[in-house]
Chains A and B, each alone.
Chain A
Amino acid sequence: MSAETSASAAIIEAVNISKSFGPVPVLFSVSMDVRPGEVHALIGENGAGKSTLMKILSGFHEPTSGQIRLDGEATDLPPNGAAEQYGVVLIHQELNLAEQMTVEENVFLGREVTARGFLDRASMRATVQGYLDEIGLDISPSDRISDLTIAQKQMVEIVKAVSRNARLLILDEPTAVLTEAETEVFFRQVEKLKANGVAIVFVSHKLAEVKAIADRVTILRDGQWIDTRPTEDLTPDTMAQMMVGRELSDLYPPLHEADVDAEPVLEVDNLYAPGVDNVSFLLRKGEILGFSGLIGSGRTAVFEAICGLAPIESGEIRLFGKRVGLMTVAEARDLGLAYLTKDRKEKGLLLDKQMRPNLTLFALPKFVRNFAIDRKAEERALERAVRRFDVRARDTAITVDKLSGGNQQKLLLAKIMECDPKIVVIDEPTRGIDVGTKQQIYHFIAALAAEGVSVVVISSEMPEIIGICHRVVVMREGHITGILSGDHINENEIMRYAAGLKREELH
């Protein structure tokens, strides 16, 4: 992409920005600049200071020292999103749209066009339609936000920003929740924005995407500025190394040879459930079984049905050789089967509670003595979990919404492991977390399998499926299209089964 943009003057410059929260410094004299029409990626591990820097660039935080220059002039950005007036807009990961209102109403929220005191819907609709056409988004201004996909909602946020003359869009992990196809559409739309001279800063943990879309990359580590470089000088590997400051050759742990004769612990035959269409498979003791496929292919639905979170229509499930019917989540847990959700914020953790009640919630009966919760035992469990899973919080009394994504994920893992499951289903084990934590989680999964625990990994990230699984089940539209093992586990094969180009005759 274009290195020529470097000639144009920066829209925004952060000069020697430092930031402390109370006594805790999180950014140390970081500088970066963003030029018109450039896509500037901001990468670093969780806790490296990316979010803080983004919030400073958009006025949500005030720097402790250092300067923000807008078009070359030192400016104090107003707080709470008022920096919009300068054309600087931060788009949060948790989108900020009124779900029950239409696209058009959302875009014009707070500055509705009126004619003679009444809303001028026709003109607003036309304007919004214009923006949608321009960006190539195939939705109608009168669509309700709640009916849109996440990718579309994200684009509506961007349209909203652009309609307010945004010159600099700061996007917090825009692709974290998108499928590959959606990501591609999103990137095409980003290219259009670029062509119009909009500058984009985006945070992502997906380094291949950074390589594909960004013009320049700024790397942060532990609150320090490490480097800013044109993307063509970097590969995903070098980026990862700069983020963690060491070689990452051991991202995936060495895979123990799976024992093909190990006893089956979970056998599923002809399972039918909502979104699941005649699924049969087998999981052995100590095996890591991957579930791959496109988003919505029924991977999660299979295990929600098995673990008692969704109804089963028909089919047979045998757990450790014994036939089980429809179980409650608690019954599944007591039999040694646990499911770890991919949606840690909505289904995994109580964000407004501290770490201790979160950790013990799933296995709470274990902590009951004489009808009361044994708080001492809970405290001991928390200490153990913090050590075992390396959960980093400065203070165990903080509520978990203040933990970084990676630490939340480790806490969630600890919560599920608290009941010592024999079979653990981990849905998207590393969504939205940094490379270092990913590595920890992979090693942890491998160690579990080595101890004889069976692990199911549902993942949309092909490299991790390939990197840690003994066998891989590929799903498409609710049924299994192939079960791969050994050398057949590669991106090409998986993709062909997932896309429906190839289908194995099972049984």
Chain B
Amino acid sequence: MISAPERHARKPSRRYALDLKTLGPALALLLLCVIGFLLNPAFVSEGNLTNLLTRSAFIGIIAVGATFVITAGGIDLSVGSMAAAISGVMIIVMNNVVETIGTGVATVLLGCGLAIVLGIGAGWINGALTTKGKIEAFIVTLGTMGIYRSLVTYFADGGTLALNFDIRGTYRPVYYDSFLGLPFPVWVFIGVAICGWLLLSRTAFGRYCTAIGSNESVARYSAINVDAVKTLTYVIQGLCVSFATIIYVPRLGSASASTGVLWELEAIAAVIIGGTVLKGGYGRIGGTILGALILTTIGNILNFTDMISNYLNGTMQGLIIIVAVLLQRSDWRLGKSRKT
């Protein structure tokens, strides 16, 4: 009945473009590693690579959560402050139970459990305000960002909250010890990344996130509980912040107003560098992981060389973000048949 063939489709170039888009972040990371090696061969030493992965873990884990939020069309600016607030509360509570529970594993487990509950709760608050309160995510999380940041300053009375010295001894291995040659934070990172990847690309929930980010009305008419799914993305984000905090606290054993500053921007940057679309509808966990590694690698390379001042770290990261997005867009143009 309708015999004219569909027009416009140009599959080969599109496939090609898709591959470029997927491979781009990986190629960029590889290039950075080569540059790092050329500048200083010590860059590829086992010690440095382990250090690099460990450092990436915080931003990487948070960025996995951010991938869900952004894919579903939201944004969470509160993650850095949330991490600081959770660290603060964890430290206070652990210090206060020393007399009843002691300084052993139980105290640390209590602290970790508390961190998870707080993260989920904080994420739920962001989600509920966005969906039930019908406030834009940017505004909600800008608000909670300020609240959490000021809370940690208040708890620390403007100074630093230090973890009890003995608990620190018990807790220390979580950051500093290794398993099969890889530090624990890296294992947590790997675990979170795999779970995130499965969840986003293999489950109905992941499909729903993508659908909501792509077009919320279509999602609603397609029997998707939009509010619940969106709220859940913030809860996942909160949970990821909890994990990052749990491995972060033993590193310094303290929390202050400067804990986690600008993490939200680094996490969002990692997500965007990885190819996830900021306005939602398309997300890639694999890209996010690479994005987080790229950001940390830049800082690491600058540490290794005298050519560029370490103070220009932010400049380099900023440039990478802009270039990454520019590249992704030109790929997109190349792949798509010219649209009028």
Contacts and interface: CB of A to CB of B under 8 A. Distances in A.
Interface string A471-493: 00000000000000000000000
Contact of A346 (B2, B210, B215, B225): B215
A372 interface: yes
Interface string A341-365: 1010011111111000100011011
Contact of B281 (A21, A348, A352, A436): A352
Contacts of B8: 21, 398, 402
A306 to B, nearest CB: 14
Contacts, number: 139
B6 A398 contact: yes
A309 B219 CA distance: 11
A24 B219 CA distance: 34
Interface stretch (B44-52, B156-164, B200-208): B200-208
Given A24-B7, A352-B281, A402-B6, A80 B207 contact: no
Contacts of A21: 7-10, 337
B217 interface: yes
Contact of A309 (B208, B218, B221): B221
Contact of B1 (A24, A48, A60, A440): A440
A403 B6 contact: yes
A393 B11 CA distance: 12
B25 to A, nearest CB: 21
B5 interface: yes
Interface stretch (A4-12, A155-163, A255-263, A325-333): A325-333
A434 interface: yes
Given A350-B218, A365-B204, 8 more contacts: A21-B8, A52-B7, A222-B4, A346-B215, A357-B210, A392-B6, A395-B9, A402-B7
A390 B1 CA distance: 9
B340 interface: yes
B96 interface: no
B207 A364 contact: yes
B222 A361 contact: yes
> Shortest 7 CB-CB distances between A and B: which pairs?
A47-B4, A60-B340, A436-B1, A329-B223, A330-B223, A398-B9, A372-B202
B147 to A, nearest CB: 32
A61 interface: yes
B116 interface: no
A337 to B, nearest CB: 11
B221 A372 contact: no
B134 to A, nearest CB: 15
Interface in B1-49: 1-11, 14-15
Interface of B: 1-11, 14-15, 198, 202-204, 207-208, 210-211, 214-215, 217-225, 281-282, 337, 340
Contact of B9 (A346, A348, A352, A402): A402
A178 interface: no
Nearest to A365: B204
A47 B5 contact: yes
A407 B7 CA distance: 12
A368 B281 CA distance: 21
Contact of B198 (A79, A362, A372): A372
A209 B208 CA distance: 42
Contacts of A439: 1
A309 B218 CA distance: 12
A357 B211 contact: yes
Given A21-B8, A352-B281, A372-B202, A46 B218 contact: no
Given A26-B4, A49-B4, A373 B9 contact: no
A392 B5 contact: yes
A293 interface: no
Interface in A67-126: 79-80
A190 B219 CA distance: 38
A407 B9 CA distance: 14
Contact of A353 (B6, B7, B208, B214): B214
A22 B7 CA distance: 9
A361 B217 CA distance: 13
B204 to A, nearest CB: 5
A167 to B, nearest CB: 21
Contacts of B15: 397
A497 interface: no
A91 to B, nearest CB: 13
B6 A22 contact: no
A443 to B, nearest CB: 10
Given A357-B211, A361-B222, A222 B3 contact: yes
Nearest to A351: B215
Contacts of B208: 364
Interface string A423-443: 000000000001011011000
A406 interface: yes
Contact of B7 (A47, A330, A372): A47
